[in-house]
């Protein structure tokens, strides 16, 4: 049995089928230059453009055995600004994944993602949450602060037990943290922590269809200049997934949510709301497409309070010819406070982002890329965004990489 996207806890692949690999060790470095038309968002009466220079490196390890799959990736680097040198900073991100089949019927999956960034355009996934997911998960990136130092860490673990040929149960837990270590209290950005757990029942129908149910609990806290808000959410969902092909799936899940929101010194408020999530994933040798839509109540990273959030994400890549790859992504999110008349919390806002890039290898080890990204946001109480809400970036990069196979 497969674990369908509504309960798997992982994102859809972002590469085409021909690019999927395992059992290898690779390393490399990249040089990137970009022009950003608004590097001091909210800091001046009009946008300030600047040229950036970035140097990065990468180390990847992926090993698959009949019972185990290990993944590790680490990408350190730094970014220099031609005019606004005060923004010079170190960036790094890391991914650690571990899958292990204890017995023919019991499997565990653990994953952790860490991001330290001062330039969102150097971290494409930050423009779309952290990838396209098919599950109902609390939003952790409502506000995208393009040139503000940001620390994010997200971890999840899951265990599943297939108790019959057509039945499976499982349980998991999540933890995430989002901080803005160098932002001033007047910026309006709030630090946040969240944790939660879930259980699920997964039943396979004849053919390649799955149905089931999930119960999840999440708790999130946010803090800003002496104020703190809390959000607890209980969600009960039913889901349905169909695999039309091994690499093409459609999923939908929906159900009620019961949430409790609090902010000292005010009394807590509780209410009910519907939740719905729909997603599709399609992966071919030269094409990849992932789309998701969700409407949920949760806390939101960067904002103080509890929000009714609508999120749509899309990611696509197309390898045309023999050596050209076109990639694109888009994200839309709108968050509305569920308690605008009671608490001193953020009223919410919305964000729209898009990216496009073209990659072309130069020889066996070198790759050249051209890219463009645009970000528009509307959050009236976030000073680093409200004055100049738009930012555009164009870049060109050259990278060198090599890989070596490792034993199975």
Domains of the chain: 20-405 (2.40.160)
pLDDT category at 235 given cuts 50, 70, 90 is very high
Instruction: Tell me what the pLDDT averaged over the chain comes to.
Output: 87
Give the strand pairing for 227-245 and 89-103.
Answer: unpaired
CA–CA separation, 317 vs 320, rounded Å?
A: 10
**Contact partners, residue 366, CB within 8 Å, separation at least 6:** 398, 399, 400
Under 8 Å between Cβ of 149 and 176: no
353 beta partners: 331, 375
Q: If you ran DSSP here, which 8-state letter would residue 131 be given?
A: B
146 beta partners: none
Higher pLDDT, 385 or 295: 295
Tell me the two tokens of residue 223: 């803090």
Per mean pLDDT, which range of 74-78, 123-127, 298-302, 333-337 is the poorest?
123-127
Under 8 Å between Cβ of 377 and 364: no
Question: What percent of the chain shows pLDDT beyond 90?
Answer: 54
pLDDT category at 343 given cuts 50, 70, 90 is low
Q: What is the pLDDT of residue 13?
A: 77
CA–CA separation, 151 vs 146, rounded Å?
A: 13
Convert the pLDDT of each residue in 116-174 to its tens digit.
988 888 765 555 445 687 776 544 556 777 788 889 898 989 999 999 999 999 999 99
pLDDT at 43 over 70: no
Convert the pLDDT of each residue in 243-279 to its tens digit.
998 889 999 999 999 999 988 788 889 999 999 999 9
Q: What are phi and psi of 313, to 5 degrees?
A: -130, 145
Q: What is the pLDDT of residue 372?
A: 94
pLDDT at 349 over 80: yes
Give the strand pairing for 324-337 and 348-362.
Answer: antiparallel
Sign of CA dihedral 39, 44, 49, 55: negative
CA–CA separation, 117 vs 374, rounded Å?
A: 18
CA–CA separation, 388 vs 118, rounded Å?
A: 18
CA–CA separation, 187 vs 256, rounded Å?
A: 35
Name the pTM for this structure. 0.88
Q: What is the pLDDT of residue 44?
A: 58
Q: What is the pLDDT of residue 141?
A: 55
Convert the pLDDT of each residue in 95-119 to its tens digit.
999 999 999 999 999 999 999 988 8
pLDDT category at 370 given cuts 50, 70, 90 is very high
Q: What are phi and psi of 339, to 5 degrees?
A: -135, 55
Under 8 Å between Cβ of 361 and 367: yes
Tell me the two tokens of residue 320: 């045309």
Convert the pLDDT of each residue in 168-226 to its tens digit.
999 999 999 988 887 766 577 888 899 999 999 999 998 899 999 999 999 999 888 77
Q: If you ran DSSP here, which 8-state letter would residue 11 be given?
A: B
92 beta partners: 76, 116
């Amino acid at each position: 049995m497969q674990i369908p996207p509504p309960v798997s806890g992982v994102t859809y692949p972002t590469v085409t089928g021909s690019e999927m690999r395992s059992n290898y060790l690779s390393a490399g470095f990249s040089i990137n230059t970009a022009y950003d038309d608004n590097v001091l968002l909210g800091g001046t009466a009009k946008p300030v453009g600047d040229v950036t220079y970035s140097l990065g490196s990468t180390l990847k390890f992926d090993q698959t055995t009949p019972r185990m799959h290990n993944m590790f990736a680490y990408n350190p680097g730094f970014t220099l600004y031609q005019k606004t040198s005060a923004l010079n900073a170190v960036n790094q991100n890391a991914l650690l994944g571990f899958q292990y089949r204890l017995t023919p019927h019991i499997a565990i999956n653990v994953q952790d993602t860490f991001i330290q960034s001062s330039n969102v355009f150097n971290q494409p996934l930050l423009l779309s949450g952290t990838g396209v997911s098919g599950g109902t998960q609390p939003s952790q990136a409502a506000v995208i602060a393009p040139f503000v130092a940001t620390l994010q860490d997200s971890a999840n673990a899951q265990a599943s037990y297939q108790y019959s040929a057509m039945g499976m149960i499982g349980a998991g837990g999540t933890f995430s943290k989002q901080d803005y270590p160098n932002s001033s209290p007047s910026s309006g950005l709030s630090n946040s922590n969240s944790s939660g757990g879930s259980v699920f029942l997964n039943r396979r129908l004849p053919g390649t269809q799955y149905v089931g149910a999930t119960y999840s609990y999440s708790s999130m806290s946010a803090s800003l200049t002496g104020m703190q808000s809390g959000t607890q959410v209980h969600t009960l969902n039913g889901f349905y997934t169909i695999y039309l092909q091994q690499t093409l799936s459609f999923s939908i899940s929906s159900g009620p949510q019961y949430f409790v929101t609090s902010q000292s010194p005010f009394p807590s408020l509780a209410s009910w709301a519907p939740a719905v999530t729909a997603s599709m994933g399609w992966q071919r040798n030269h094409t990849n497409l992932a789309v998701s839509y969700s409407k949920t109540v949760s806390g939101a990273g960067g904002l103080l309070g509890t929000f009714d959030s609508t999120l749509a994400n899309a990611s696509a890549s197309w390898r045309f010819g023999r050596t050209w790859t076109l990639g694109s992504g888009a994200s839309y999110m709108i968050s509305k406070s569920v308690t605008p008349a009671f608490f001193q919390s953020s009223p919410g806002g919305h964000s729209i982002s898009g990216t496009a890039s073209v990659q072309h290898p130069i020889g066996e080890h070198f790759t050249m890329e051209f890219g463009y990204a645009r970000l528009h946001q509307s959050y009236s109480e976030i000073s680093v965004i409200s004055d100049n809400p738009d930012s555009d970036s164009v870049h060109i990069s050259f990278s060198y990489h090599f890989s070596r196979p490792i034993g199975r």
